[in-house]
Copies of this chain bind each other. A is one copy, B any other.
Amino acid sequence: MTSRRVAYLVVALAMATVAWTNGADNAAKKPVLRHVVLFQYKEGTAPAKVKEISKAFAALPSKIDAIVDFEWGTDVSVENKTKGFTHGFVVSFRDKAGRAAYLPHPAHQDFVKLVGPHLADVLVFDYSTTE
């Protein structure tokens, strides 16, 4: 192989890699359906139970393929407008079909059974990032 040919190869490889990188970036920005879930626990719920529930929720992405992204956290807001919700989870799906696979999924249903008895209140708000 001549140096010139190899030089072409270097340029081609670099261009291909940049193209792939941009593709990955676009993929990350594809519209998704965000499923925002807020929990308020019943007074007296054991901290260990709350921890177990957060852990069980965070384990769902490994059990349900339809989940393409997952985040959660406890409230750290400073405006006193939480309406009593203390734990927030954002489950992301590709689209409504993903959510339709998630809601009745046995792993999700098991989770609902685990958390249900401990909730004083729950809020669910879904939006599509296409807007």
**Residues of A at under 8 Å CB distance from B?**
1-3, 6-7, 9-10, 13-14, 17-18, 20-21, 24-25, 28, 33-36, 38, 54, 71-79, 81-83, 85, 88, 90, 96, 99, 103, 122-131
- Interface of A, helix, strand, loop or mixed by DSSP: mixed
A95 to chain B, nearest CB (A): 11
CB contacts (< 8 Å) of A14 on chain B: these are: 13, 17
Find out whether the CB atom of B34 lies under 8 angstroms from the CB atom of A73.
Answer: yes
Let me know if B82 and A125 touch, CB within 8 A: yes
Most chain B CB within 10 A, of A9, A33, A123, is at A123
* Complex contacts, A18 vs chain B, CB 8 Å: 17
B10 touches A21 (CB 8 A): no
Q: A2–B2 Cα gap in the complex (Å)?
A: 8
Residues of B within 8 A of A85 (CB): 123, 125
A33–B76 Cα distance when bound, in Å, is 9
Q: How far is the CA of A68 from the CA of B18 in the complex (A)?
A: 23
- Other than A34-B73, A77-B125, give 15 A-B pairs with Cβ distance below 8 A: A1-B6, A6-B7, A10-B10, A17-B21, A35-B77, A36-B88, A38-B125, A71-B127, A73-B127, A75-B125, A76-B126, A78-B103, A79-B124, A81-B124, A85-B123
